[in-house]
Structure 1
Amino acid sequence: MKVSYQWLSQYVDVSGYTAAELAEKLTRSGIEVDIVESRNKGVEHVVVGYVKTREKHPDADKLSVCTVDAGQGEDLQIVCGAKNVAAGQKVPVALIGAKLPDGLVIKRAKLRGVESQGMICSAKELGLNDRLLPKEIQEGILVLPEDTQIGQSILEVLAIDDEVLELDLTPNRSDALSMLGAAYEIAAILGCEVKLPDAEAGIGGGAVRAADKISVKITAAEQCSHYAARLIEGVQVGKSPLWMQNRLMAAGIRPINNIVDITNYVMLEYGQPLHAFDADKLANGHIDVRLANAGEKLVTLDDVERTLEPHMLLITDGTKPVAIAGVMGGANSEVTEGTTRILLESAKFDGGSVRKTSRQLGLRSEASLRFEKEVNPEAVIPALNRAASLMAQYAGGQIAEGIVEARTKEHKPVTIAITADRINQYLGTQLSAAQVKDIFARLHFPVEEGADGSLTVHVPSRRGDITRTVDLIEEVARLHGYDNIPTTLMSGVTTPGSLTKEQKIRRIARERMTAAGLHEVVTYTFTDPKLIEEFPGAFKETQPVALAMPMSEEHSTLRTSLIPHLLEVIGYNRNRNMDDVAVFEIGKAFLTQQKALTELPEERLLLSAAITGKRQDMHWTGKAAAVDFYDLKGIFENLVGYLGIEGLTYAAAQPEGYHPGRTAEIRLDGKAIGYIGQLHPAYQKAKDLEDTYVLEVELEPLAANANGSIAYRALPRYPAISRDMALVVDAAVPVADLVAKASEVAGDLLESIQVFDVFTGERLGAGKKSVAFSLVYRTPERTLTDEEVSELHAKAVAALEQTFGAELRK
């Protein structure tokens, strides 16, 4: 919201404060001021001049020689190159010595042999915003109204000597989206009164009753609670007064004509959007507020045909739509130069309905901005009267008697009971009831004091953000001054914060993966359905969930795996000569078995990782080595070991998108929780990747089985005895099963078991493999004897032979 300092001074006395000081006070009281901008971009010594004569330059076809009365005691001769300069005009004249925004200093000069004693200026040369000016003004000199006083400073005429405060409002402070709202805020801060405009000036008993010529009906009761209209006849559409144009431009709105400008002016003044219809273009002067029919169309004021949907609120004349309520009017009821009768609308539309319509149609307007945040329900009639009064004054209209309106719901005033003790308890202050009442009086909140000292506060409808006691306490805090609130210790019951087990596991996973040399990435939750089809991941049975309103086709579906986007990260880095990439992500996948979604999809938290490239670069101590399956498996097992998880096993698997011989299913207590392995060679080739290894595992079962306790053991005092054995078994037998069986038989005396060799070959026979183990025996209580270790070792070998058909290699 842009607030003009000069305009603001019409409602509240700010004469003792500069714009910068007001900005400081506003910011300290809770409404941040982004910037204070001066409308004067460097204009000095520019006045109003009257062009007496205009003649063609004797030596230049595109130049004119003008005689100008600038109120300096004698006429000035000025050479001008503008096409639209003419005798009888009032124009801005830069005198000798004047300064302009581009740094130009006006000097006495000769143009093609003719002396020029100044410069006739365009709006752009005065530093005015071109975007806010009518096209005819942009292309030539600025022509001022005929009643402008000759010799008057252009700074006063165009209100260039003004400053604009740009408020950065939070969504709850919709009341400050108006000049009166800003005035109430400034008045509360400064402790002064607000001077309201006379909204009913010039409104009396007209010769015509509005109810005889126009009618209003609300069909969509939920979306519109109040609709009011006035009829103004005999209007003359033309330019609005210059002071009004100046204020609109200071607020960032382009002047159009007196009717439209008045509706915009009152919208800025009251925060209540209005709309003016050409009453002769409405069937029988009727208004019906209803929801759109499916497929119904309307050409809006921007000349775009809009296809409407049944949830969109329309203003119709009973036969056709004439406006999208709260968003934009229709071209079929637009006010034009030939308009003589105005039906003026002021209404309370539901903010949610306007917001949804505005976003879906891609139409954002000053009106929709205010309706979205809910307008003041008690400003509907005052704003309507104010605009009608201005139209009578500046458009020559005759206001028909009476307001035609319809209501579906009455506004219920908000009343809140509070005490000074409760306020002090929250804020840690020592405010008296009288001080609290004074603050509410400054806010213009009526207060009734009870016999017990309680205060009953009647909240004005313009402050829709105040509905609870704590809202009033906040008002007291900011008006008392945040700097004046003492620092005090909290009292009462407090609950220390802590992380859940799952949150702790996430942090640990991030730390361990990062410590292992992987970089964490965050990719989009939305993905391309083609990526899901190419790589379904661990959940191939799931159905992709399509978004109702996707940003693009590439982000139109909820992901079922994190790996496709990790591969995109690898590809992005490879395209920039970064071939050695190791990344991971912790995020959610969205799973459902339903093709037609009737329930929310299941969300599963996954840990995914991908590595490719070299484990180590070429060095004099050894050759370069590429990463492999066991690098990623080691990183994962390091994490699992740190979490104290037991019961983890691997089994050969061939999920879609993975290498059929280099992939394992990860199981925890016999239940599959993910996959680890190399990408399928065909998929790698399609993605232009080198050998890439990926991991995707569910975090929830890991978190459930994690053991945070750490067991400390004393260093061993007694020596260990080691034994090796090499067994020939079927190639299909998992090595983990052999390890588990040996550990079970050896019992507590077995300190560790390590696989140090796996061998296959023709000598062993088809479908056979040799696995060599090193077993370390030790007890913390005594020194073991060779006899007891040999006996225990023999039992382990026998158990493996009996269970798996293993043969001991000699």
Structure 2
Amino acid sequence: MKVSYQWLKEYLEIDVEPHELAEKIARTSVDINDVYSPSDGLKKIVVGDVVSCEPHPDSDHLHVCQVNVGEAEPIQIVCGAPNVQAGKKVIVALHGARIGDNVKIKRGKIRGQQSNGMLCALQELGFSDKVAPKDYDDGIYFLPDDAQPGDSVFPYLGMDDVIIDTDVTPNRGDMLSIYGNINDIAAFYGLKPHFKELAVKENADQAASDQLTAAVADQKIAPTYKLRVINGVTVADSPLWLQIKLWNSGIRPVNNVVDVTNYVLLKYGQPLHSYDYDQLPGHDFGVRHAHAEEQLTTLDGDEQTLNENDIVVTAADQPVALAGTMGSQGTAVSADTKTVALEAAIFDPIMVRKQARRLDLHSEASMRFERGINPATVETALNEAAELISELAGGQVASGIVTANEKPAEDKQITLSLAKINHVLGTKLSQDEVTAIFERLAFPVKVVDADQLTVTVPARRWDIFVVADLYEEIARIYGYDNLPATLPVMTRNHGGLSPRQKFLRASRHEMEGMGLTQAISYSLTTEDKAKQFQISPLAEPMKLDFPMSSDHVATRMSLISGLLIDVAYNVARNVNNVALYEAGRVFLPKGGERPEEQEHLAGAITGQLLANSWHTQDQPVDFFQVKGIVERYLHNLGLAGTVTYRATQDRAEMHPGRTANIYVADQLVGFVGQVHPQTAKAYKVPATYVFELNLEALLAADKVANEYHPISKYPAITRDIALLVDRNVTNADVVAVIEQQGGAFLKKVHLFDVYSGLHLPKGKKSLAYTLTYQDDHDTLTEDQVNKAFDKVTRALETKLAAEIR
């Protein structure tokens, strides 16, 4: 909000330099965007009186003007403004002046006529088009008739003011008004504000209830809704003092009725809306939810298509305003308006925010409704606006207020403990000091006993609910700079990682040691992506009530979707070999409770895991490479339970022939495989292999103790064996039989060849293994190895119907 320093001084006897005041506000209340004067960078700009105005002899649009600027003789200025005329007080930039955008004005000749300066529009002094009055869009600005030639124009235009541009946080909606700023600044400096309220004078011969009725369909959408009527108005320009207050606050003056509503909005933070009474389709006002596809043309000229989540103000059940956001074009106050219906209300802040965001209709009113309205000043603002309209537009205020609904202004009582205050803030404040702080805030306080205080929080501070809020109020008024600085208390224990931290750190080291790069992706994603790649069982994701964007509406239940987005990002930039892993949390809903947070580890690999080399062929990553990474990781964990991989076709996002679930002692802990081609296409990635493991299950699984195995000094003996088996016999089946029957000296089983195709019987495949035997304490004999090898051979023939080749 742009806060006028001169406006503050009308209600507060403050003797603090504006920049110092801004710094105090920044350290105590809200951030500051800027502190500036509208006259900064401008010079030699004075009041001029146009003595004469003649057409330029060599131009059909220029005029040669003689202008009195307070000197002995008038100066000649050539002007092209269509509205320039004799007898008007104007803005004159003299020779050597600096105007907006640091433009320098010099003497010169324009089509043969001497020009000793420039007659200016407000825009040429730095006023934006959004603020300058519309009546002067095509010409120069006229100053009041009592302006004295030669005087600086800055006091006449309010440009000698200082503007403190505050950046109000959502919780401090009270600071979006002069009233709120006055209360806070008075508390900083221990001052007494003399805030002026204007009493309304009613016409007893006219009753508002005879002219209007009002009803609210749902009390929640409009907790307060009030109307007044002003009859016999004459719509015209506002007086200059009012226009100055508006344009210094960043609002364009329109007319004396609309300007009053904006003035009161700035003063109290209470949005108002004025209707042309005679243009309304009826005089029975209502507030309701909009109908689906209902149409409304707003004041900006755009036709809005509404839905059931929008709120509208109606007359004769026809929408005449988008509640809390913008009025309709057909009922706007115009030069022909004679009777004004004036509305003051409190609308549901969430619904106003949603409709303003959906329709991209952010206004001064919606900004305040979204952050909250002071229920104690709704009627005060309505009465003052009605009286000002009556005074400035010559109308009469009908007696009474038409009220459809009213939210009472309730103060809150909160009990504090002095000991707790000092404990939380680290201070040694006395009860008198704390009481004095609340008195400066104008919060009534009652001393209960030596330790307890009861504070009454007025309705104007709707951001204060609990004891902690009052601790903050004490701290900021006492001064954050005055809070004592203390060093943190240190323990005498040696630092170190917990077993869980060690496990997670070791997991990252393992992944990076196998060539994967860590990625960190968003915990929020779309609802569809959140459902994908779950380990088990399938569940609905937890959705946010107020998501920041459509891509981040639900919490993730798997890490893989985020990794695939990262892979797509790299591939789109011609990085074709991508190997990423992520260790992070997923969020599993648990009914109405807080979600269960689980640590997961996932990886995604596409292209080649190893870089191209002159002595190796290009070999894209395959299922077995990725499975090998998982196997090595699980092996290094030292799990006591048996790890098994079981083929599955039940995962919709995974390739049905290249996916396996991972079990530890029959507990499902994850899966590994290729992303389904259709899923890969949706993510815009090439063939990609992924895995995901539930680290919570692995952390809880039994582990083997660290063991020392000495390296045998005796030689090893190997035997090769080739088998012809049915296609449905897996490598795991064969290895299980070999290890079961291999004996005490069998150290290793290695599959070195797989063949299926020509020269083999139908439905058969060939597997070739190397078996390694070694005795840790003696040299093996040929007979010992042969006996053990024969036992393996017989078991393979018996249990798997294998044919030894």
Same fold (TM over 0.5): yes
**394-403 or 658-667: which moved more?**
658-667
Deviations along 1:628-684, one digit per CA (max 9) or x if unpaired, are 333322222233234444533335566778777765554554576665445678998
- 1:803 paired residue among 779, 799, 803: 799
- The structural deviation recorded for 1:325 is 2.2
More displaced, 146-155 or 619-628?
A: 619-628
Question: Deviation of residue 510 (structure 1)?
Answer: 5.0
Deviates more, 1:173-182 or 1:615-624: 615-624
Instruction: Report the Cα offset of residue 746 of structure 1.
Output: 4.8
Amino acid at match of 1:711: N
The yes-or-no answer on 1:724 pairing with 2:719 is yes
Residue in structure 2 matched with residue 60 of structure 1 by the alignment:
59
Separation in 2, partners of 1:784, 1:512: 36
Partner of 1:9, secondary structure, is helix
Q: How does 1:124-273 map to 2 (within 5 A)?
A: 124-200=123-199, 203=201, 206-273=204-271
Structure 1 residue 407 displacement after superposition: 3.7
TM superposition shift of 1:380: 0.5
Encode CA deviations 1:525-545: one digit per residue, 9 max, x unaligned. 65698x999x99999999999
What residue in structure 2 maps to residue 741 of structure 1?
737
Structure 1 residue 424: deviation in Å? 0.6
| Structure 2: distance between partners of 1:86 and 1:489 | 73
Q: Is structure 2 residue 333 aligned with structure 1 residue 327?
A: no
Q: Which residue of 2 aligns with 1:711?
A: 706
User: What displacement does 1:186 show?
Assistant: 1.4
- Alignment CA distance shift 1:236-1:510 (3 Å): farther
Q: Distance in 1 between matches of 2:704 and 2:163?
A: 63
Alpha-carbon displacement from aligned partner over 1:464-484 (angstroms, at most 9, x marks no partner)? 111211111110011111222
Equivalent runs, 1:568-579 vs 2, <5 Å: 570=567, 573-579=570-576
Matched with 2:765 is 768
Aligned counterpart for 1:647 among listed residues 635, 642, 646:
642
For 2:652 and 2:217, locate their aligned partners in 1 and report how far apart those are by CA, in whole Å. Answer: 57
State yes or no: 1:11 paired with 2:11. Answer: yes
Deviation at 1:59?
2.4
Bigger drift between 167-176 and 126-135 goes to 126-135
SS in 1 for 2:87: coil
Q: Which moved more, 1:467-476 or 1:735-744?
A: 735-744
Looking at structure 1, the residues matched to 403 and 74 of structure 2 have their Cα atoms a distance apart, in angstroms, of 58
Cα separation, partners in 2 of 1:408 and 1:56, compared to 1, 3 Å? closer
Q: What is the alpha-carbon distance in structure 2 between the residues aligned to residue 16 and residue 657 of structure 1?
A: 67
Render the CA deviation track for 1:363-392: whole Å, top value 9, x for unaligned: 322212211222000010111122122212
The yes-or-no answer on 1:631 pairing with 2:652 is: no
- The answer on whether the counterparts of 2:13 and 2:191 sit within 8 Å (CA) in structure 1 is yes
Structure 2 CA distance, aligned partners of 1:474 and 1:33?
19
C-alpha spacing 1:528/1:247, structure 2 compared with 1 (3 Å): same
> 1:595 aligns to what?
none
Amino acid aligned to 1:401: S
Matched residue type, 1:410: P
User: Pairwise mapping of residues 361-440 of structure 1 onto structure 2 (< 5 A)?
Assistant: 361-440=359-438
Contact preservation (8 Å) 1:293, 1:309: yes
**Residue 239 of structure 1: how far off its partner (Å):** 1.4
Q: Please give the residue correspondences for 1:390-539 in structure 2 after superposition, counting only pairs within 5 Å.
A: 390-452=388-450, 454-488=452-486, 510-519=508-517, 520=519, 522=521
Q: What number of residue pairs does the alignment pair up? A: 797
2:47–2:92: 8 Å Cα contact kept in structure 1? yes
1:42: which partner in 2? 41
2: CA distance, partners of 1:716 / 1:264: 88
Alpha-carbon distance in structure 2 between the residues aligned to 1:49 and 1:702: 85
- Give distance in 1, aligned partners of 2:490 and 2:316: 62
Q: Which sits farther off after the overlay, 563-572 or 735-744?
A: 563-572
SS state at 1:263 partner:
helix
Instruction: Output one character per residue of 1:683-705: Cα deviation in whole Å (capped at 9) or x when no partner.
Output: 98999976x34124353675466
* Residues 71/705 of structure 1: CA separation in 2 closer, same or farther (3 Å cut): same
For the Cα contact (< 8 Å) 2:203–2:396, is it kept in 1?
Answer: no
- Partner Cα distance (2:345, 2:188) in 1: 31
Secondary structure of the 1:51 match is strand
Structure 2 residue runs of 5 or longer lacking an equivalent are none
| Partner of residue 99, structure 1 | 98
Tell me which moved more, 714-723 or 258-267: 714-723
Question: In the TM superposition, what is the alpha-carbon distance from 1:46 to its structure 2 partner?
Answer: 0.8
In the alignment, what sits opposite 1:275? 273
Q: Offset of 1:436 from its aligned partner?
A: 0.8
Give 2:300's aligned residue.
302
Could you tell me how far apart the structure 2 residues matched to 1:542 and 1:442 are? Answer: 54
Q: Given that residues 632 and 695 in structure 1 are in contact (C-alpha distance below 8 angstroms), is that contact kept between their aligned partners in structure 2?
A: yes
**Structure-2 separation of matches of 1:404 and 1:178:** 25
Matched, 1:581 2:575: no
Look up the match of 2:84.
Answer: 85
Rounded to whole Å, the distance in 2 between the matches of 1:498 and 1:308 is: 59
Going from structure 1 to structure 2, the CA distance change for 1:539 and 1:267 (only over 3 Å counts) comes to same
Aligned partners of 2:41 and 2:98 also within 8 Å: yes
Give the CA deviation at 1:339. 0.8
- 1:357 deviates by 3.4
Separation in structure 1 between the aligned mates of residue 40 and residue 344 of structure 2, nearest angstrom = 37
Deviation at 1:430, TM superposition (A): 0.2
| 2-structure distance, mates of 1:649, 1:580 | 29
TM-score by length of 2: 0.86
Identity of aligned residues (%): 40
- Greater Cα shift, 671-680 or 55-64: 671-680
Greater shift, 650-659 or 715-724, is seen at 650-659
2-structure distance, mates of 1:240, 1:800: 102
Would you say the 8 A contact 1:643–1:707 is kept in 2? no
Contact kept in structure 2, 1:679 and 1:693, CA below 8 Å: yes
Counterpart AA for 2:578: V
Q: Distance in 2 between matches of 1:578 and 1:104?
A: 51
What is the CA–CA distance in structure 2 between the aligned matches of 1:315 and 1:424, rounded to whole Å? 50
SS in 1 for 2:706: coil
How many angstroms apart in 1 are the aligned matches of 2:357 and 2:495?
39
Match of 2:388, SS state, is helix
Between 741-750 and 216-225, the greater mean CA deviation after superposition: 741-750
Q: Contact 2:579/2:609 (CA < 8 Å) preserved in 1?
A: no
Secondary structure of the corresponding residue to residue 288 of structure 1: strand
1:694 to 689, 692, 704: 689
Question: In the TM superposition, what is the alpha-carbon distance from 1:335 to its structure 2 partner?
Answer: 0.9
Q: SS of the residue aligned with 1:277?
A: strand
**Matches of residues 532-551 of structure 1 in structure 2 within 5 Å?**
none
1:562 CA drift (Å): 7.2
CA distance in 1, matches of 2:580, 2:454: 61
Equivalent position to 1:754, from 735, 750, 755: 750
Aligned residue for 1:612? Answer: 606
SS at match of 1:110: strand
Moved more, 140-149 or 273-282: 140-149
